[in-house]
Amino acid sequence: MAIERTLSIIKPDAVAKNVIGQIYSRFEGAGLKVVASRMAHLSRAEAEGFYAVHKARPFFKDLVEFMISGPVMIQALEGENAIAVNRELMGATNPKEAAAGTIRADFAESIDANAVHGSDAPETAAVEIAYFFPASQVFSR
Ligand code: RTP
Ligand code: MG
């Protein structure tokens, strides 16, 4: 199996709920290693740039407003099949449809305030990690 990296964001709702540690425990329990990490309060320009792929979507404005509503915790995760493993841990985008025991089922309120972001493919993971972390701040281990 391939060792991959993925970009994860603990969104403002989950940071406000004080569950950063519980979410990190789930990453570690699934064999994912935190190889880069920092807290940030994103500017509008940073959030718009990060979600540029969704620019034409009706939910884009609300998504950006939500992502700049408070601090977020940003991390790169590394492990076997890290992208799919993280998406499995996260659960469905809409927490009402997320499987029991997933991060979104346990901590998310709504499709907007849905606790976490995770990259969806190797190409987007590489772009998203580089968006937040210079190579010198990613510590492969
Ligand atoms: P993410 O990118 O945050 O990991 O979530 P995702 O892949 O599961 O969902 P995606 O389709 O990439 O959408 C990005 C974020 O936009 C919000 N969204 N709202 N109101 C809506 O219909 C709607 N659809 C998506 C969600 O917060 C989603 O995480
Ligand atoms: Mg997505």
Ligand 1 near 110 CB (within 6 A):
no
19 contacts 72 by C-beta, under 8 angstroms: no
Q: State yes or no: ipTM above 0.95.
A: no
Ligand 1 near 88 CB (within 6 A):
no
Q: Residues 49-106: pLDDT tens digits? A: 999 999 999 999 999 999 999 999 999 999 999 999 999 999 999 999 999 999 999 9
Does residue 1 register a pLDDT over 80?
A: no
Ligand 1 near 63 CB (within 6 A):
yes
Minimum CA distance residue for ligand 1 atom 22: 59
For residue 46, the number of C-alpha atoms closer than 13 Å in the C-beta half-sphere is 16
Q: What is the pLDDT of residue 89?
A: 98
Q: How far is the CA of 85 from the centre of ligand 2 (A)?
A: 15
DSSP 8-state symbol, 52: G
Q: How far is the CA of 104 from the centre of ligand 1 (A)?
A: 12
User: Pick from 23, 30, 21, 141: which is nearest to 84 by CA?
Assistant: 30
DSSP for 71-115, please give it. Answer: -EEEEEEEEETHHHHHHHHH--SSGGGSPTTSHHHHH--SSSS-S
pLDDT band at 141 (very low <50, low <70, confident <90, very high): confident
DSSP 8-state symbol, 35: E
For residue 83, the number of C-alpha atoms closer than 13 Å in the C-beta half-sphere is 15
Q: How far apart are CA 35 and CA 94, in angstroms?
A: 28
User: Pick from 72, 77, 79, 32: which is nearest to 50 by CA?
Assistant: 72
Torsion of CA 128, 7, 102, 23, to 10 degrees: -130
Q: Residues 3-18: pLDDT tens digits? A: 999 999 999 999 999 9
